[in-house]
Structure 1
Amino acid sequence: MKAAAWWEFYVNCGKKEGNDGLGSSGSQALGLVRDQQRRWVKPREGIIKLNFDGALEVSKGIFGTGAVCRDEQGTCIGVLAVPTVGFVSPQTCEFLALINGLHFCLQAGFTRLEIEGDAQNVFMALNSDQEDLSPDGALVDEAKYLLSFFFSLVVGVIPLGSVIMPLIVWQK
Protein backbone atom coordinates (compact mmCIF):
# COMPACT_ATOMS: atom_id res chain seq x y z
CA MET A 1 0.00 0.00 0.00
CA LYS A 2 2.78 2.45 0.86
CA ALA A 3 4.51 1.85 -2.48
CA ALA A 4 1.31 2.69 -4.35
CA ALA A 5 0.90 5.91 -2.37
CA TRP A 6 4.49 6.93 -3.05
CA TRP A 7 4.11 6.10 -6.73
CA GLU A 8 1.03 8.34 -6.87
CA PHE A 9 3.04 11.10 -5.14
CA TYR A 10 5.82 10.67 -7.70
CA VAL A 11 3.46 10.78 -10.67
CA ASN A 12 1.66 13.84 -9.33
CA CYS A 13 4.87 15.81 -8.60
CA GLY A 14 5.22 16.79 -12.21
CA LYS A 15 1.51 17.51 -12.70
CA LYS A 16 1.27 20.45 -10.33
CA GLU A 17 1.26 23.65 -12.30
CA GLY A 18 4.66 25.30 -12.10
CA ASN A 19 6.08 22.50 -9.96
CA ASP A 20 8.27 19.67 -11.14
CA GLY A 21 8.93 18.45 -7.61
CA LEU A 22 12.47 19.77 -7.77
CA GLY A 23 11.87 23.36 -6.74
CA SER A 24 12.49 26.32 -9.00
CA SER A 25 14.74 25.53 -11.95
CA GLY A 26 15.60 22.11 -10.51
CA SER A 27 14.94 20.32 -13.78
CA GLN A 28 17.12 22.68 -15.77
CA ALA A 29 20.01 22.48 -13.29
CA LEU A 30 19.92 18.69 -13.33
CA GLY A 31 19.73 18.48 -17.11
CA LEU A 32 16.47 16.57 -17.06
CA VAL A 33 15.00 15.71 -20.41
CA ARG A 34 11.25 16.14 -20.45
CA ASP A 35 9.48 15.08 -23.62
CA GLN A 36 5.82 14.27 -23.14
CA GLN A 37 5.51 12.92 -26.71
CA ARG A 38 8.09 10.16 -26.20
CA ARG A 39 6.86 6.58 -26.05
CA TRP A 40 8.65 3.77 -24.28
CA VAL A 41 10.62 1.55 -26.67
CA LYS A 42 11.12 -2.17 -26.03
CA PRO A 43 14.67 -3.43 -25.49
CA ARG A 44 16.33 -5.86 -27.88
CA GLU A 45 15.78 -9.60 -27.44
CA GLY A 46 17.40 -11.00 -24.30
CA ILE A 47 17.83 -7.55 -22.74
CA ILE A 48 16.01 -6.19 -19.70
CA LYS A 49 15.22 -2.48 -19.78
CA LEU A 50 15.65 -0.65 -16.47
CA ASN A 51 13.93 2.72 -16.30
CA PHE A 52 14.73 4.71 -13.17
CA ASP A 53 13.76 8.09 -11.77
CA GLY A 54 13.75 10.09 -8.60
CA ALA A 55 11.25 12.62 -7.30
CA LEU A 56 11.45 15.00 -4.41
CA GLU A 57 9.40 17.60 -2.62
CA VAL A 58 12.10 19.93 -1.36
CA SER A 59 9.80 21.99 0.85
CA LYS A 60 8.60 18.88 2.72
CA GLY A 61 11.94 17.10 2.94
CA ILE A 62 10.73 13.92 1.28
CA PHE A 63 11.92 12.07 -1.77
CA GLY A 64 11.43 8.77 -3.49
CA THR A 65 13.23 6.65 -6.01
CA GLY A 66 11.72 4.21 -8.41
CA ALA A 67 12.66 1.68 -11.04
CA VAL A 68 10.75 -0.46 -13.51
CA CYS A 69 12.17 -3.49 -15.35
CA ARG A 70 10.60 -4.77 -18.56
CA ASP A 71 11.56 -7.55 -20.93
CA GLU A 72 11.71 -7.54 -24.74
CA GLN A 73 7.95 -8.12 -24.88
CA GLY A 74 7.33 -4.99 -22.79
CA THR A 75 6.12 -7.12 -19.88
CA CYS A 76 6.80 -5.60 -16.49
CA ILE A 77 8.99 -8.06 -14.60
CA GLY A 78 9.96 -5.92 -11.64
CA VAL A 79 9.05 -2.68 -9.90
CA LEU A 80 10.82 -0.88 -7.08
CA ALA A 81 9.64 2.14 -5.09
CA VAL A 82 11.67 3.53 -2.19
CA PRO A 83 10.14 6.40 -0.19
CA THR A 84 12.57 8.34 1.99
CA VAL A 85 12.54 11.28 4.36
CA GLY A 86 15.43 13.72 4.11
CA PHE A 87 16.93 16.58 2.21
CA VAL A 88 18.96 15.67 -0.88
CA SER A 89 19.79 17.39 -4.11
CA PRO A 90 17.91 16.45 -7.27
CA GLN A 91 21.08 14.86 -8.67
CA THR A 92 21.61 12.80 -5.50
CA CYS A 93 18.00 11.62 -5.76
CA GLU A 94 18.58 10.49 -9.36
CA PHE A 95 21.80 8.67 -8.43
CA LEU A 96 20.02 6.89 -5.59
CA ALA A 97 17.26 5.82 -7.99
CA LEU A 98 19.86 4.35 -10.37
CA ILE A 99 21.76 2.62 -7.57
CA ASN A 100 18.56 1.15 -6.08
CA GLY A 101 17.54 -0.06 -9.54
CA LEU A 102 20.93 -1.66 -10.17
CA HIS A 103 20.86 -3.45 -6.79
CA PHE A 104 17.37 -4.70 -7.64
CA CYS A 105 18.52 -6.02 -11.04
CA LEU A 106 21.53 -7.78 -9.53
CA GLN A 107 19.39 -9.43 -6.88
CA ALA A 108 16.85 -10.51 -9.52
CA GLY A 109 19.63 -12.03 -11.65
CA PHE A 110 19.27 -9.67 -14.61
CA THR A 111 22.71 -9.47 -16.25
CA ARG A 112 21.95 -7.90 -19.64
CA LEU A 113 20.53 -4.43 -19.23
CA GLU A 114 19.51 -1.38 -21.13
CA ILE A 115 19.26 1.52 -18.69
CA GLU A 116 17.20 4.60 -19.33
CA GLY A 117 16.62 7.71 -17.24
CA ASP A 118 16.05 11.41 -17.67
CA ALA A 119 19.03 12.91 -15.81
CA GLN A 120 21.76 13.71 -18.32
CA ASN A 121 24.16 14.76 -15.56
CA VAL A 122 24.01 11.26 -14.06
CA PHE A 123 24.96 9.65 -17.38
CA MET A 124 27.66 12.23 -18.03
CA ALA A 125 29.20 11.46 -14.62
CA LEU A 126 29.08 7.73 -15.32
CA ASN A 127 30.75 8.24 -18.68
CA SER A 128 33.58 10.35 -17.28
CA ASP A 129 37.02 8.90 -16.65
CA GLN A 130 37.86 11.66 -14.19
CA GLU A 131 37.44 11.24 -10.45
CA ASP A 132 34.25 12.94 -9.31
CA LEU A 133 35.06 15.23 -6.39
CA SER A 134 31.49 16.53 -6.05
CA PRO A 135 29.28 15.62 -3.07
CA ASP A 136 27.87 12.83 -5.28
CA GLY A 137 31.31 11.37 -6.06
CA ALA A 138 30.82 8.33 -3.83
CA LEU A 139 27.48 7.63 -5.53
CA VAL A 140 29.14 7.85 -8.94
CA ASP A 141 31.76 5.35 -7.77
CA GLU A 142 29.11 3.00 -6.39
CA ALA A 143 27.06 3.14 -9.59
CA LYS A 144 30.16 2.43 -11.71
CA TYR A 145 31.05 -0.48 -9.44
CA LEU A 146 27.55 -1.95 -9.73
CA LEU A 147 27.59 -1.53 -13.52
CA SER A 148 30.70 -3.73 -13.65
CA PHE A 149 28.61 -6.78 -12.65
CA PHE A 150 26.54 -6.76 -15.84
CA PHE A 151 27.54 -8.73 -18.96
CA SER A 152 25.87 -6.49 -21.50
CA LEU A 153 24.81 -2.95 -20.96
CA VAL A 154 23.48 -0.01 -22.94
CA VAL A 155 22.98 3.18 -20.99
CA GLY A 156 21.34 6.35 -22.23
CA VAL A 157 19.08 9.22 -21.42
CA ILE A 158 15.51 9.53 -22.52
CA PRO A 159 15.92 11.32 -25.83
CA LEU A 160 15.03 14.90 -26.54
CA GLY A 161 12.76 14.83 -29.55
CA SER A 162 13.74 11.78 -31.57
CA VAL A 163 17.51 11.79 -30.98
CA ILE A 164 18.73 8.93 -28.79
CA MET A 165 21.96 9.64 -26.98
CA PRO A 166 23.49 6.38 -25.70
CA LEU A 167 26.46 7.33 -23.60
CA ILE A 168 27.78 3.99 -22.40
CA VAL A 169 27.87 0.66 -24.20
CA TRP A 170 29.50 -2.25 -22.36
CA GLN A 171 29.84 -5.94 -23.13
CA LYS A 172 31.98 -8.57 -21.38
Structure 2
Amino acid sequence: MVPLPPFPRLAVDSTQTRWHPPPHGMVKINCDGATFRNQKKSGVGVVIQDDNSMVLVSMSKQLPQLYSALEVEAMAASTALSFASRLGFHWAILESDSLTLATTLRNNSTFLSLDGLLMEDIKFHATSFIQLRYSHVKREGNKVAHKLARHALYILDFSVWMEDVPPPLLPIVLEDIARFS
Protein backbone atom coordinates (compact mmCIF):
# COMPACT_ATOMS: atom_id res chain seq x y z
CA MET A 1 0.00 0.00 0.00
CA VAL A 2 1.39 3.39 -1.02
CA PRO A 3 1.41 5.95 1.82
CA LEU A 4 -0.82 8.93 1.23
CA PRO A 5 0.87 12.30 0.78
CA PRO A 6 0.33 14.79 3.60
CA PHE A 7 -2.28 17.44 2.91
CA PRO A 8 -2.35 20.87 4.50
CA ARG A 9 -5.10 20.77 7.10
CA LEU A 10 -6.92 23.28 9.22
CA ALA A 11 -6.77 22.87 12.95
CA VAL A 12 -10.00 21.38 14.18
CA ASP A 13 -11.84 24.19 15.95
CA SER A 14 -14.73 22.85 17.99
CA THR A 15 -15.82 26.35 19.04
CA GLN A 16 -16.72 27.49 15.51
CA THR A 17 -20.51 27.74 15.45
CA ARG A 18 -21.26 29.56 12.19
CA TRP A 19 -20.52 28.83 8.57
CA HIS A 20 -17.71 30.94 7.08
CA PRO A 21 -16.73 31.16 3.40
CA PRO A 22 -13.47 29.55 2.31
CA PRO A 23 -10.37 31.56 1.40
CA HIS A 24 -10.16 33.02 -2.11
CA GLY A 25 -9.71 30.35 -4.78
CA MET A 26 -11.05 27.50 -2.66
CA VAL A 27 -14.47 25.94 -2.18
CA LYS A 28 -15.99 24.74 1.05
CA ILE A 29 -17.60 21.31 0.98
CA ASN A 30 -20.02 20.92 3.87
CA CYS A 31 -21.32 17.42 4.44
CA ASP A 32 -23.55 15.68 6.94
CA GLY A 33 -25.18 12.35 7.52
CA ALA A 34 -28.59 11.52 8.97
CA THR A 35 -30.19 8.34 10.23
CA PHE A 36 -33.87 7.41 9.98
CA ARG A 37 -34.37 4.63 12.51
CA ASN A 38 -38.06 3.96 11.81
CA GLN A 39 -37.43 3.62 8.07
CA LYS A 40 -34.12 1.74 8.55
CA LYS A 41 -32.40 4.17 6.16
CA SER A 42 -29.71 6.83 6.24
CA GLY A 43 -29.07 9.99 4.26
CA VAL A 44 -26.17 12.11 3.06
CA GLY A 45 -26.21 15.84 2.35
CA VAL A 46 -23.53 17.89 0.61
CA VAL A 47 -23.30 21.55 -0.33
CA ILE A 48 -20.34 23.17 -2.10
CA GLN A 49 -19.95 26.94 -1.84
CA ASP A 50 -17.34 29.34 -3.18
CA ASP A 51 -15.43 32.17 -1.53
CA ASN A 52 -18.36 34.52 -2.23
CA SER A 53 -20.69 32.18 -0.27
CA MET A 54 -22.54 31.24 -3.45
CA VAL A 55 -23.88 27.70 -3.76
CA LEU A 56 -22.17 25.94 -6.65
CA VAL A 57 -23.90 22.61 -6.22
CA SER A 58 -25.80 20.63 -3.59
CA MET A 59 -26.96 17.05 -3.32
CA SER A 60 -28.96 14.61 -1.22
CA LYS A 61 -28.45 10.87 -1.31
CA GLN A 62 -30.52 8.19 0.35
CA LEU A 63 -28.70 5.14 1.70
CA PRO A 64 -30.90 2.01 1.78
CA GLN A 65 -29.91 0.89 5.27
CA LEU A 66 -29.38 2.26 8.75
CA TYR A 67 -25.80 3.06 9.74
CA SER A 68 -24.23 4.27 12.98
CA ALA A 69 -23.66 8.01 13.39
CA LEU A 70 -19.92 7.80 12.66
CA GLU A 71 -20.45 5.46 9.71
CA VAL A 72 -22.96 7.77 8.01
CA GLU A 73 -20.79 10.84 8.74
CA ALA A 74 -17.82 9.06 7.14
CA MET A 75 -19.97 8.03 4.16
CA ALA A 76 -21.07 11.65 3.81
CA ALA A 77 -17.45 12.82 3.75
CA SER A 78 -16.44 10.16 1.23
CA THR A 79 -19.44 10.93 -0.98
CA ALA A 80 -18.72 14.67 -0.73
CA LEU A 81 -15.09 14.31 -1.78
CA SER A 82 -15.90 11.95 -4.66
CA PHE A 83 -18.72 14.25 -5.84
CA ALA A 84 -16.57 17.41 -5.62
CA SER A 85 -13.64 15.82 -7.42
CA ARG A 86 -15.83 14.57 -10.27
CA LEU A 87 -17.16 18.10 -10.69
CA GLY A 88 -13.62 19.45 -11.02
CA PHE A 89 -13.04 20.99 -7.60
CA HIS A 90 -9.48 20.37 -6.40
CA TRP A 91 -8.78 23.14 -3.84
CA ALA A 92 -11.20 22.67 -0.97
CA ILE A 93 -12.06 22.60 2.69
CA LEU A 94 -14.10 19.62 3.84
CA GLU A 95 -16.24 20.70 6.77
CA SER A 96 -18.32 18.44 9.01
CA ASP A 97 -20.17 18.78 12.29
CA SER A 98 -18.66 15.46 13.45
CA LEU A 99 -15.76 16.30 15.74
CA THR A 100 -14.65 12.65 15.76
CA LEU A 101 -14.50 12.57 11.96
CA ALA A 102 -12.72 15.92 11.63
CA THR A 103 -10.17 15.03 14.32
CA THR A 104 -9.52 11.59 12.81
CA LEU A 105 -8.94 13.06 9.35
CA ARG A 106 -6.79 15.90 10.64
CA ASN A 107 -4.61 13.55 12.69
CA ASN A 108 -4.52 10.91 9.94
CA SER A 109 -5.63 8.36 12.56
CA THR A 110 -6.47 4.78 11.71
CA PHE A 111 -9.11 2.40 13.04
CA LEU A 112 -9.07 -1.38 12.88
CA SER A 113 -12.79 -1.66 12.18
CA LEU A 114 -15.45 -0.85 9.59
CA ASP A 115 -14.98 2.79 10.56
CA GLY A 116 -11.32 2.40 9.60
CA LEU A 117 -12.26 1.18 6.14
CA LEU A 118 -14.55 4.17 5.72
CA MET A 119 -11.73 6.51 6.80
CA GLU A 120 -9.42 4.87 4.24
CA ASP A 121 -12.08 5.50 1.59
CA ILE A 122 -12.10 9.20 2.51
CA LYS A 123 -8.30 9.32 2.36
CA PHE A 124 -8.41 7.67 -1.08
CA HIS A 125 -10.79 10.35 -2.39
CA ALA A 126 -8.58 13.03 -0.81
CA THR A 127 -5.77 12.10 -3.20
CA SER A 128 -7.82 13.69 -6.02
CA PHE A 129 -7.28 17.13 -4.50
CA ILE A 130 -4.36 19.47 -4.97
CA GLN A 131 -5.11 21.05 -1.62
CA LEU A 132 -7.61 19.72 0.91
CA ARG A 133 -8.14 20.98 4.43
CA TYR A 134 -10.38 19.57 7.15
CA SER A 135 -12.57 21.67 9.42
CA HIS A 136 -15.10 21.11 12.17
CA VAL A 137 -18.13 23.31 12.73
CA LYS A 138 -20.98 22.84 15.17
CA ARG A 139 -24.37 21.79 13.78
CA GLU A 140 -25.55 25.44 13.72
CA GLY A 141 -22.87 26.18 11.12
CA ASN A 142 -23.70 23.11 9.06
CA LYS A 143 -27.44 23.65 8.70
CA VAL A 144 -27.61 23.42 4.92
CA ALA A 145 -25.78 20.06 4.72
CA HIS A 146 -27.80 18.81 7.69
CA LYS A 147 -31.12 19.69 6.02
CA LEU A 148 -29.93 18.12 2.75
CA ALA A 149 -29.12 14.89 4.63
CA ARG A 150 -32.59 14.95 6.24
CA HIS A 151 -34.12 15.66 2.79
CA ALA A 152 -32.69 12.34 1.55
CA LEU A 153 -35.60 10.52 3.18
CA TYR A 154 -37.96 12.11 0.62
CA ILE A 155 -36.05 11.19 -2.55
CA LEU A 156 -35.69 7.84 -4.27
CA ASP A 157 -31.91 7.69 -4.55
CA PHE A 158 -29.80 10.73 -5.44
CA SER A 159 -30.73 14.34 -6.28
CA VAL A 160 -28.43 17.17 -7.39
CA TRP A 161 -29.13 20.90 -7.60
CA MET A 162 -26.68 22.91 -9.72
CA GLU A 163 -26.10 26.41 -8.33
CA ASP A 164 -29.08 25.84 -6.07
CA VAL A 165 -30.56 24.00 -3.10
CA PRO A 166 -34.07 22.59 -2.66
CA PRO A 167 -36.47 25.57 -2.24
CA PRO A 168 -37.18 24.97 1.49
CA LEU A 169 -33.43 25.38 2.22
CA LEU A 170 -33.00 28.71 0.41
CA PRO A 171 -33.69 30.86 3.52
CA ILE A 172 -30.89 29.07 5.40
CA VAL A 173 -28.41 29.72 2.57
CA LEU A 174 -29.49 33.36 2.33
CA GLU A 175 -29.01 33.76 6.09
CA ASP A 176 -25.41 32.49 5.76
CA ILE A 177 -24.73 34.77 2.76
CA ALA A 178 -26.20 37.83 4.53
CA ARG A 179 -23.57 37.57 7.26
CA PHE A 180 -20.75 38.06 4.75
CA SER A 181 -22.26 40.55 2.26
Category of TM-score, reference length = shorter chain: 0.5 to 0.7
Q: 1:34: Cα distance to partner?
A: 9.7
Query: Aligned residue pairs: how many?
Result: 127
Q: Which runs of 5 or more residues in structure 1 are unaligned? A: 1-32, 162-172
Instruction: Please say if residues 28 and 94 of structure 2, whose CA atoms lie closer than 8 Å, have aligned partners that are also in contact.
Output: yes
Q: TM-score, normalised by structure 1?
A: 0.67
Q: 1:128: Cα distance to partner?
A: 3.8
For 2:98, the equivalent position in structure 1 comes to 119
Alignment partners' CA distance in 2, 1:130 and 1:154: 15
Letter in 2 for 1:76: V
The equivalent position to 2:135 in structure 1, one of 144, 156, 170, is 156
Matched, 1:74 2:62: no
Q: TM-score, normalised by structure 2?
A: 0.64
For 1:104, the equivalent position in structure 2 comes to 83
- For CA contacts below 8 A with separation 6 or more, give which structure has more relative contact order: 2
Name the SS for the 1:45 alignment partner: coil
Letter in 1 for 2:64: V
For 2:21, the equivalent position in structure 1 comes to 42
Name the SS for the 2:82 alignment partner: helix
CA-to-partner distance for each residue in 1:105-154, whole Å, 9 max, x for gaps? 11010000011110011122223445310221111101011112211122
Instruction: Please say if residues 125 and 132 of structure 1, whose CA atoms lie closer than 8 Å, have aligned partners that are also in contact.
Output: no
Alignment partners' CA distance in 2, 1:34 and 1:83: 30
CA-to-partner distance for each residue in 1:1-43, whole Å, 9 max, x for gaps? xxxxxxxxxxxxxxxxxxxxxxxxxxxxxxxx798xx332111
Q: Which runs of 5 or more residues in structure 2 are unaligned? A: 1-13, 141-181
Alignment partners' CA distance in 1, 2:106 and 2:18: 25
Cα distance change, pair 74–129 in 1 and its aligned pair in 2 (3 A): closer
Name the SS for the 2:111 alignment partner: coil
CA-to-partner distance for each residue in 1:50-83, whole Å, 9 max, x for gaps? 0000111223211100100001111100111101
C-alpha RMSD over aligned residues: 2.2
Show structure 1 runs of 4+ deviating over 4 A.
none
For 2:125, the equivalent position in structure 1 comes to 146
The structure richer in strand per residue is 1
Percent identity (aligned): 24
